[in-house]
Structure 1
Amino acid sequence: MGTNNEMVRQTMLGIYEQVLSILKTYPNVSTVLDIPAGSGLFTSILFENKYKVYAADILPEKMSFEKVKCVFADMNKRLPFEDNFFDAVVCLAGIEHVENPMFTLSEFFRILSPKGIFILDIPNINSLYSRVKFLLTGGFFLFDPFWLSEHNHISVLPPYLLNSYLEKNKFQEIRIYRASLKSYYIWLHPLITCFFSFLSRILHKKFPLLFLNYEQSIKFNNQKNVMWSDGLIFVAKKPY
């Protein structure tokens, strides 16, 4: 168990570093919300990098970083912040825990200032590994009984669906980054893509109406970032 916890910690540290580097590409970002803040590790990183950071969590007492106060916030309900307040909102290891992702995304949009930046990550259930896992076990990556009971992963969000949710909530300039790439398998991508393209053409002839409805999502899910990454980072912008 200790080894698993350390692996998770190292993975999250890598994601924190990546998200910080993304934030630094937006020089006008000053006020940042970290939600859910958890133990406060990413909050501390933001603080040390001179951001005016706010922290929120459903269990604020678990925050161990004392230089920033963590306030109570339930992401299933209206967030305790004013409209158009933050330059950036960062939600890491959070959206898969909420009951109604569409509502939660609308709240993030509300509290962001115009031109504000929204960053979140998700477990990637459309990775090739997760697709094979589902085929063999009936459970997606990080959405099996263990992750439901021990980590409360209750909202399964395929990347294509999350992208649509962001668009429906009026976010713009949506970009997707890989959080962790299966680099030792990446050489297989051209082969796998050719196989899926061949299979799609055959099935398209037999079920034209079905593929008419799913053509865009198939193309989206066969991107290199989506197919070979265990996690994805979405970056979106609130318009003027």
Structure 2
Amino acid sequence: MNYEDNPKSIKYYVKRHLIDQKEFYKGKTVVDFPAGNGVTSKILQDVGANPVPIDLFPEYFNIEGLDCIRANVREGLPLEEASADVLICQEGIEHFSDQFEALREFNKVLKPKGTLLITTPNYSNLRARMSYLLSESERYNDIMPPNEIDSIWMSDQTITDEIYFGHIFLIGAQKLRVLAKLAGFRIKKIHFTRRKSTSLLLFPFIYPFIRVSNWITYRKNLRKNKDYDMEVKREVYGEVYRLSIDPKILIQSHLMIEFEKEQEARNVAQGLKSRHKEFGVT
């Protein structure tokens, strides 16, 4: 069975999303990065989109009639600014050493109100949290913590000097949210993927503590940080609190989050306030 037809694979849920939303994707320019072997680009083509496949190792792309562009996100994507309607980053963000700059690059190539769809192993589910507590590994009793033996997934000096890292940079929902926000995106929708059985078993025992603990933290922080008015704090802290107690995030195997570009990345800093004194202020 192909991965895109296997409910245990995140590719299955991406495929289902693209088919369900084919009217939205029809005629749109969609960047597929990293494109891998091209499965998602082929599905995009089938639903009427105009896929733009990009990958660090385009040698592994094997979809006839489509060309995959070589690119390293650290050096920028070889596309014009505001040229894409959608960018799909499927199982890629956890491999990027500078996730913030990657998100800023995604912002640059997307049109205003453009869509960014990110999937990544869910480092916020209960199993992952328990695993990190016990062994600082993504799967305790199964995978060692990140190391130089298991974490180099691809390195071919005859093709490029770049190294394709494994899951060294796993990211949870909260960090992904704030980095995306600082890069000019807002969360539009969290898609549900497959339930993780271990997280489901842990849920009834741990969830009450998660809810109470996060509520206390939320209420405490509303009273702090006098630099922002209450309306702003309720909006920001409220979204963070809802992510913290969202059952979907706590039990599903992968994160699949749809973002919308709400502003240019270069303009984000204008609305931020420093927590520390500005330079020269005594």
Query: How many pairs are equivalent?
Result: 231
Structure 2 contact 103–183 (Cα < 8 Å) conserved = yes
1:24 matched to 2:27: no
Do the aligned partners of residues 185 and 129 (structure 1) sit closer, same or farther apart at CA in structure 2, a change above 3 Å counting? closer
Matched, 1:169 2:183: yes
Cα distance in 2 between the residues matched to 1:116 and 1:6: 25
Deviations 1:80-118 (A, max 9, x none): 000010111111011111110110101111101122111
Q: Is the 8 A contact 2:7 2:13 kept in 1?
A: no
- Return closer, same or farther for 1:153/1:78 CA change in 2, 3 Å cut-off: same
CA contact (8 A) 2:81 2:109 kept: yes
**Counterpart of 2:45 in structure 1: which amino acid?**
F
TM-aligned CA deviation for residue 76 of structure 1: 1.9
Tell me whether 1:123 sits opposite 2:121 in the alignment.
yes
| Residues 8, 34 of structure 1: alpha-carbon distance in 2 compared, 3 angstrom cutoff | same
Question: Identity rate of aligned residues, in percent?
Answer: 24
Asked whether the 8 Å contact 1:115–1:238 carries over to 2, the reply is yes
Contact 1:23–1:29 (8 Å) recurs in 2: no
Q: Give the TM-score normalised by structure 1.
A: 0.81
For residues 51-83 of structure 1, the C-alpha deviation after alignment (integer angstroms, 9 at most, x for no partner) is: 111100011111110211101111122110000
Structure 1 position 178, deviation (Å) = 2.6
Give the drift of 1:159. Answer: 0.8
State whether structure 2 residue 130 is matched by structure 1 residue 132.
Answer: yes
Report the TM-score when normalising by structure 2: 0.70
Q: Which residue of 238, 262, 266 corresponds with 1:239? A: 262
Deviations 1:108-165 (A, max 9, x none): 1110112211101111111011111112222134883376244622213121011011
AA matched with 1:155: F
- 1:1-240 alignment runs, 5 A limit: 11-21=9-19, 23-24=21-22, 26=24, 30-141=28-139, 144-145=145-146, 148-150=151-153, 152-182=166-196, 186=200, 189=203, 191-197=205-211, 217=240, 219-239=242-262
Larger Rg: 2
2-structure distance, mates of 1:27, 1:65: 19
Report if the CA contact (8 A) 1:143-1:156 is conserved: no
Deviation at 1:225, TM superposition (A): 1.2
Comparing 81-90 with 137-146, greater Cα deviation is found at 137-146
Q: Offset of 1:182 from its aligned partner? A: 3.0
The residue identity in structure 2 corresponding to 1:112 is L
Partner of 2:268: none
Alignment-mate amino acid for residue 223 of structure 1: D
Change (3 A) 1:121 1:187: same
Deviation at 1:166, TM superposition (A): 1.1
CA distance in 2, matches of 1:220, 1:235: 14
* SS of structure 1 residue aligned to 2:24: coil
Residues 140 and 36 of structure 1: is their aligned pair in 2 closer, same or farther, counting only changes over 3 Å? same
Unaligned runs of 5+ in 2: 154-164, 226-236, 264-282
Unaligned runs of 5+ in 1: none
